[in-house]
């Protein structure tokens, strides 16, 4: 996919680090807030999912499953940590929004691959 595998991995890990930081800060910066917490979660997980899948392109469905399940477990861990950090709180709906974001990332990745294949002829 347009970038070398190493670039996708770098993008993946930078996003994971940034999202981890934002989710564990007592109050995330206003510039990182869409105004709706659930949309924040969807976007926070769609990006790393897309980059992770692109980094693993051509490695099969098990690799894709590992990326998506790993991201969901990471989301659950972050929610658990948020429950320990006042004024943050853990919410099941946030984890559901994380899962929706992973789904959005998968759909965006599949769509991008199809567009690139069609453009290549």
26-64 confidence digits (pLDDT tens): 998 999 999 999 999 999 999 999 999 999 999 999 999
Find all residues with CB under 8 Å of 98, minimum gap 6, and list them: 41, 42, 44, 45, 71, 72, 75, 79
pLDDT (average), residues 2-20: 97
Question: What is the Cβ-side half-sphere exposure of residue 61, based on CA atoms within 13 angstroms?
Answer: 0
86: left (phi over 0), alpha (psi -120 to 50) or beta: beta
76's enclosing H/E stretch is helix 61-82
> What was the pLDDT predicted at 1?
75
Rounded (to 5) percent helix, strand, coil in the chain: 75, 0, 25
pLDDT (average), residues 79-107: 97
Average pLDDT value for the chain = 96
- 52 contacts 63 by C-beta, under 8 angstroms: no
Q: Which of 48, 50, 36, 51 is nearest to 5 (CA)?
A: 51
> What was the pLDDT predicted at 12?
98
For the chain, the domains span: 5-21+35-120
Burial of 26 (0-12, 13-18, 19+ CB in 10 A): exposed
Q: What is the Rg, in whole angstroms, of the alpha carbon atoms belonging to the chain?
A: 15
pLDDT above 90: residue 73? yes
Q: How confident is the model at residue 121 (pLDDT cuts 50, 70, 90)?
A: confident
């Amino acid at each position: 996919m347009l970038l070398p595998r190493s670039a996708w991995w770098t993008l993946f890990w930078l996003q994971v680090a940034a999202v981890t930081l934002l989710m564990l800060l007592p109050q995330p910066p206003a510039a990182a807030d869409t105004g709706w917490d659930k949309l924040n979660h969807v976007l926070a997980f769609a990006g790393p999912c897309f980059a992770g899948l692109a980094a693993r392109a051509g490695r099969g469905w098990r690799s894709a499953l590992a990326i998506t399940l790993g991201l969901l477990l990471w989301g659950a861990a972050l929610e658990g940590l948020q429950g320990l950090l006042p004024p943050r709180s853990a919410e099941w709906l946030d984890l559901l929004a994380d899962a929706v974001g992973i789904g959005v990332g998968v759909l965006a990745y599949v769509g991008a691959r199809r567009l690139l294949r069609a453009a290549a002829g």
